Amino acid sequence: MSAIIQLLPDAVANQIAAGEVVQRPASAVKELIENAIDAGADKIRLVVRDGGKSLIQVIDNGCGMSVADARLCFERHATSKIRKAEDLFAIRTMGFRGEALASIAAIAHVELKTRRVEDELGTLVEIEGSEVIRQEPAAVPAGTSISIKNLFYNIPARRNFLKSNPVEMRHIIEEFHRVALAHPRIFFSLHSDEQELFHLPAESLKQRIVHVFGSSYNQRLVPVEEETTIINLSGFIGKPEYAKKTRGEQFFFVNNRFVKDPYLNHAVVKAYEGLLPPDSFPLYVLFIEIDPAKIDINVHPTKTEIKYEDERAIYAILQSAVKRSLGRYNITPTLDFNQETGFSHMISPKPLEEINPPSVSFNPDFNPFDSGKSLGGRPRAAIPQQWDTLYQIAQKTAPSQLELRGDEAEPGADQPAPARKQPFQLHNRYIVSQIHSGFIVIDQQAAHERILFEQFCQQLESRQGASQQSLFPQTVTLNGADFQLIMDLLPDIRALGFEIREFGKNTVVVEGIPADLTAGVSERQVLEQLLEDYKNNQAALKLSRREQLAKSLARHTAIKPGMALSTDDMAELIDRLFACEMPNVSLNGKPVIVTFTLQELSERFER
């Protein structure tokens, strides 16, 4: 019987491998930049067009390739980086599997130009779907330039699966952030559709972080440094009060390779215990140097997972080092005069003598959520620390209210509904209002969120957001990725009532904000939160983009529990709530209003 098993042709095998190595333009970007780093380049330029779909080009000034290598590099398992199995345990390069170029060449139009410094003439190779269609000598600069055009041109299913250009661009920027942070001593630039998004000169790690994320990060960073026999740890962590709602700013590099590691992440987060607002993620950019023999990188083709011999010890070292840094930062508050308005000024450092150096001790009164820093702008009533004060206030109010309604609306009474009594507030959190059959209790925050949400949705529909001019237009500088995002969202953000103009590189000027945001709101903060939420939600649930924006803005601008409301405010809130399409559903799908009937009350009184 003849064999039915056959070896796959190379082109097919390469296409299959490509499925693992190259999922989207960003994965090709990662592989190409890593090759440039392995080639010893100290200047690396990335150029993309249409979110990488039509062009990804990486130009480096590294070692270049000989004529023979320029052809060989596209063969599968062709690598200059390891020669024998033992080498797998001493890997210091980014690549080693010899898969990337072969995979990419199987699914795109690739043009390679390369020259070693010692050669007079370089080489040009063109490949389409694993087939060499041109190879010739060429006068090119020393180093290597690889262009990848029309990724997935021959796999329509994959090409159609790609997301919109801005989304793919965000993935590319994410990869770019990773390599740029991992190699601050290398110059990097990123051009997208003719616009330069990043221009990062060779610099220190701290300067690189600030360059990538924005100048406001300068005072957010705390250094971490620890040398042990197992690992050397270095890098920066973010001060707890700047923790964000998305994980976007968390980076581990093991021997300069970006890795994802939930276990080690846990060690860092544990060190922050008690210092972070709920559901927030601190920034960290941490480098672990470890003997390559003690790890296995070869767990996954994308090489973002690592197995460690000594996992527990690394966990312990990480946690204690981060804790110590946080402790030290608390002892020596940074004297920073150009600090932005943030929560940091509320952390009052304790006098030195009270502190035991290595332990982390924070002002126990610090709570970023009950400060006067409400987004609603109106000053918030002070919340009494003792609950019994609140209780007394409630008691004082309650009897008079009860007296007022004493004899009317008996259970089952069928007289017409009495004129609505004035609503009142419970614990500065709930609004109580009498209705014909009893009374209702409204969660003030949920109600206001619902009202604003529906209002913002309408504005987005009709494209007519009421805006109020800012007296002092503010410029807001964002990082490249956020700037890109804000430009994508601009029409919708304008419809919400923001008046925003592009103002130079990665900077916008905010000239007006939605009319509902009262004075005292920081434009920068609302914008940043809007972007954070947007990124956050995009990963999680698939709301429509407008719904997301409306929701986020409503959340950040609605009144919060703890805000005292005047009777007029309450009456207006109730009226507007009942004018809503879905008054009784909070933005989380929970009730906004709870009804108590007189019937229920009399049952409680066992009448």
Q: Which residues bind to Mg ion, rule: CB under 5 A?
A: 35, 95, 100
Q: Applying CB under 6 A, what is the total number of residues that bind ligand ADP?
A: 24
User: Which of 100, 451 has the CB closer to Mg ion?
Assistant: 100
State the nearest-atom distance from the C-beta of 93 to Mg ion, in Å. 8
Interface residue with ligand ADP, options 18, 26, 39, 173 (CB under 6 A): 39
Q: Which among 49-57, 74-82, 513-521, 562-570 is the span making contact with ligand ADP, rule CB under 6 A?
A: 74-82
Interface residue with ligand ADP, options 54, 80, 458, 474 (CB under 6 A): 80
Helix (H, G, I), strand (E, B) or coil at 507: strand
Say whether residue 73 binds ligand ADP (CB under 6 A): yes
Say whether residue 88 binds ligand ADP (CB under 6 A): no
19's tokens: 């499925």
Interface residue with ligand ADP, options 51, 62, 240, 376 (CB under 6 A): 62
Say whether residue 44 binds ligand ADP (CB under 6 A): no
State the nearest-atom distance from the C-beta of 371 to Mg ion, in Å. 50
Q: Which does 62 bind (CB under 5 to 8 A by kind): Mg ion, ligand ADP, none?
A: ligand ADP
Say whether residue 552 binds ligand ADP (CB under 6 A): no
* 134 and 125 Cβ atoms separated by less than 8 Å: yes
Q: Which among 77-85, 202-210, 470-478, 571-579 is the span making contact with ligand ADP, rule CB under 6 A?
A: 77-85
Say whether residue 81 binds ligand ADP (CB under 6 A): yes
User: What does the alpha-carbon distance between residue 48 and residue 30 come to, in Å, rounded to a whole number?
Assistant: 13
Interface residue with ligand ADP, options 144, 319, 467, 506 (CB under 6 A): 144
User: What does the alpha-carbon distance between residue 181 and residue 558 come to, in Å, rounded to a whole number?
Assistant: 37
* 106 and 131 Cβ atoms separated by less than 8 Å: no
Q: Which of 231, 229, 235, 171 is nearest to 208 (CA)?
A: 235
Please state the separation of Cα 180 from the chain's center in Å.
17
Say whether residue 100 binds ligand ADP (CB under 6 A): yes
User: Which of 47, 526 has the CB closer to ligand ADP?
Assistant: 47
Say whether residue 78 binds ligand ADP (CB under 6 A): yes
Please state the separation of Cα 9 from the chain's center in Å.
42
* 229 and 274 Cβ atoms separated by less than 8 Å: no
Say whether residue 97 binds ligand ADP (CB under 6 A): yes
State the nearest-atom distance from the C-beta of 34 to ligand ADP, in Å. 7
Residues with Cβ < 8 Å from 94, sequence gap 6 or more?
34, 35, 37, 38, 256, 257, 303
Interface residue with ligand ADP, options 35, 255, 433, 584 (CB under 6 A): 35
Q: What separation in angstroms does the CA of 606 have from each of 402, 562, 601? A: 19, 34, 9
User: Which of 75, 193 has the CB closer to ligand ADP?
Assistant: 75
DSSP state of 383: P
User: Which of 79, 444 has the CB closer to ligand ADP?
Assistant: 79
Q: Which of 44, 55, 38 is nearest to 198 (CA)?
A: 44
User: What does the alpha-carbon distance between residue 459 and residue 492 come to, in Å, rounded to a whole number?
Assistant: 9
User: Which of 97, 323 has the CB closer to ligand ADP?
Assistant: 97
State the nearest-atom distance from the C-beta of 122 to ligand ADP, in Å. 12
User: DSSP labels for 229-279?
Assistant: SSEEEEEEEE-GGG-BSSGGGEEEEETTEEE--HHHHHHHHHHTTTTS-TT
Residue whose entry in the numeric block shows the structure tokens 């804790």: 323
* 578 and 420 Cβ atoms separated by less than 8 Å: no
User: Which of 35, 255 has the CB closer to Mg ion?
Assistant: 35
Say whether residue 297 binds ligand ADP (CB under 6 A): no
Q: Which of 271, 272, 229, 235 is nearest to 253 (CA)?
A: 235
120-125 CB contacts, 8 Å cutoff, 24+ apart: 122/64, 123/65, 123/66, 123/67, 123/70, 123/71, 125/70, 125/71, 125/74
Say whether residue 46 binds ligand ADP (CB under 6 A): no
State the nearest-atom distance from the C-beta of 96 to Mg ion, in Å. 8
Beta-carbon count within 10 A of 525 CB: 16
Q: Which does 60 bind (CB under 5 to 8 A by kind): Mg ion, ligand ADP, none?
A: ligand ADP
Q: Which of 217, 276, 283, 214 is nearest to 250 (CA)?
A: 283
User: Which of 103, 557 has the CB closer to Mg ion?
Assistant: 103
User: Which of 101, 321 has the CB closer to Mg ion?
Assistant: 101
User: What does the alpha-carbon distance between residue 113 and residue 100 come to, in Å, rounded to a whole number?
Assistant: 17
Interface residue with ligand ADP, options 47, 60, 285, 303 (CB under 6 A): 60
Interface residue with ligand ADP, options 25, 51, 52, 95 (CB under 6 A): 95
Helix residue spans in 297-409 (DSSP H): 311-331, 387-405
Q: Which among 63-71, 212-220, 255-263, 590-598 is the span making contact with ligand ADP, rule CB under 6 A?
A: 63-71
Say whether residue 31 binds ligand ADP (CB under 6 A): yes
Helix (H, G, I), strand (E, B) or coil at 403: helix
Q: Which of 99, 49, 107, 106 is nearest to 78 (CA)?
A: 99
Q: Which among 95-103, 210-218, 342-350, 472-480 is the span making contact with ligand ADP, rule CB under 6 A?
A: 95-103
User: Which of 43, 560 has the CB closer to ligand ADP?
Assistant: 43
Q: Which among 76-84, 268-276, 425-433, 585-593 is the span making contact with ligand ADP, rule CB under 6 A?
A: 76-84
User: What does the alpha-carbon distance between residue 189 and residue 194 come to, in Å, rounded to a whole number?
Assistant: 12
Q: Which among 34-42, 427-435, 489-497, 529-537 is the span making contact with ligand ADP, rule CB under 6 A?
A: 34-42
Q: Which does 342 bind (CB under 5 to 8 A by kind): Mg ion, ligand ADP, none?
A: none
The residue number with the shortest CB distance to Mg ion is 95
Q: Which residues bind ligand ADP (CB under 6 A)?
A: 31, 35-36, 38-39, 60, 62-65, 73, 78-81, 95-102, 144
